[in-house]
Amino acid sequence: MERITIIGLGLIGGSLGLALKAARLKDIEVVGYDKDTLASVDARRRGAVDKSEPILHRAVRDAGLVIIATPIMAIPAVMEEIAGELRENCVVTDTASTKTIVTDWARQLLPPTVSFVGGHPMAGKETAGIANAEATLFAAKPYCIVPAADASEGAVRAVAAIVQLIGARPFFIDAEEHDRYVAAVSHLPLILSTALFTLVRGSPAWPELSALASSGFRDVTRLASTDPALSHDICLTNRDSVLHWLDRLVEELSRYRELLQQEQEEPLFESFAKAQLERDNYLTAPPSRPERYPEVPSGSDQLLSLLVGERLVRRFKDIGKVLAERDEASLRQRRTGLGPGRKAPKRPHKP
């Protein structure tokens, strides 16, 4: 039986476990670890994992695939602790919201005998914890796959197979490109949502404002309820990209301010009308992007083959090397008439 280990059994890790178990994987065991014992117990009770391990290095022992679903800043310590226990050709992936720094950590901390393939599911909630985990959290959502430069093709295909099994859409992207784009569509909304709430909440008229606030205010400020540690880590690990888009946002808000100050009404109306038309088009017919990932057969049997295949390929290569050396020795023996360990006789000295 092949082992998949999930480190971190919160919203994302727990949802991954539930989705994998819902896929009814054949001959694959899902093992979980969380430093919070209660989260581990709850994950086991809810069926997100087949069993939980209380000791981290034991949880990854003999695993073919390890998924690190911890907070971003906890990843280096996790990688350091598991590095010595990872079997040869193990596939390691993660779920962090930023990828450049995590890829650097993997290159520095993981052994060269494993393959790291970064991951980031573009799905989540503002509520955290295993209690809020759902098997359908990733359904039809993009799931970024960011292979390290030295990751094997089999490792990349294995992660892509996992993504498909949980119902998500594999989205292959470079680490730096990922961080720039996600800063605009994920990290900036987080800051904007929080800033709007703190602005309004800080007003002396907050009691009246809160009584008037309805769905629009709740929708726009929803992300302000995100775990503050997650928000903090995202901003610190993707600082430059977030600052870039914050500057662009300030410019855009200034543009709307100038439109409001103008005496002419048409430019302001045209700006709102254009935004509505383009957003409606985006919702009904989003721009297409050429797929950039290898075709991966679906199903647990194929996943098992991918996870085990890396070991078998290396094993066959080792066997082939031994056989080649043996054949070379045999050929040399036939040519010289000498058996193993025998030396060629000295030629007689001619007078």
Amino acid identity of 350? K
Number of CB atoms found within 10 A of residue 348's CB: 6
CB 118 within 8 A of CB 146: yes
The alpha carbon of 254 is separated from its chain's Cα centroid by a whole number of angstroms, namely 36
Q: Is the pLDDT of residue 23 over 50?
A: yes
Answer positive or negative: Cα dihedral of 188, 194, 196, 202: negative
**Mean pLDDT, to the nearest integer, of 289-309?**
60
Q: Looking at residue 351, what is its pLDDT?
A: 47
Q: Which residue has the tokens 């450049």?
A: 100
Position 306 scores a pLDDT of: 63
156 pLDDT more than 70:
yes
* Phi, psi dihedrals of residue 344, rounded to the nearest 5°: -70, 140
Fold of 179-284: 6-phosphogluconate dehydrogenase C-terminal fold (1.10.3660)
- The bridge status of strand 115-121 relative to strand 142-147 is antiparallel
Q: Which of 29, 18, 300 is CA-nearest to residue 136?
A: 18
User: Residue 118 pairs with which residues in a beta bridge?
Assistant: 146
Q: Which two tokens stand for residue 302?
A: 């194929």
Is residue 13 pLDDT above 80, yes or no?
yes
d(CA 33, CA 85): 15
CA–CA–CA angle 141, 143, 215 (5° rounding): 40
User: Residue 88: pLDDT above 80?
Assistant: yes
**Domain extent listing, the chain:** 2-173+292-307, 179-284
Please give the C-alpha separations between residue 277 and each of 253, 258, 285, in angstroms, as whole numbers. 19, 22, 12
Find the mean pLDDT for residues 126-150: 93
| Burial readout 292-314 (b: 16 or more C-beta within 10 A, e: otherwise) | ebeebeeebebbbbbbbbbbeee
**Lookup: tokens for 11:** 């919203």
Residue-wise pLDDT for 173-229, tens only, equals: 999 999 999 999 999 999 999 999 999 999 999 999 999 999 999 999 999 999 999
Structure confidence at residue 316 (pLDDT) = 46
Whether residue 25 has pLDDT greater than 80: yes
Q: Which of 156-160, 207-211, 242-246, 320-324 has the lowest mean pLDDT?
A: 320-324
pTM of the model: 0.82
**Encoding tokens for residue 56?**
């981290």
- Coil vs helix vs strand at 9: coil
- Local confidence band at 304 (pLDDT 50, 70, 90 cut-offs): low
Architecture of domain 2-173+292-307: 3-Layer(aba) Sandwich (3.40)
Q: What is the pLDDT of residues 28-50, one digit of tens each?
A: 999 999 999 999 999 999 999 99
Buried b (16+ CB within 10 A) or exposed e, 144-181: bbbbbeebbebbbbbbbbbbbbbbbebbebebeebbbe
Yes or no: say if 82 and 66 are a contact pair by the CB < 8 Å rule. Answer: yes
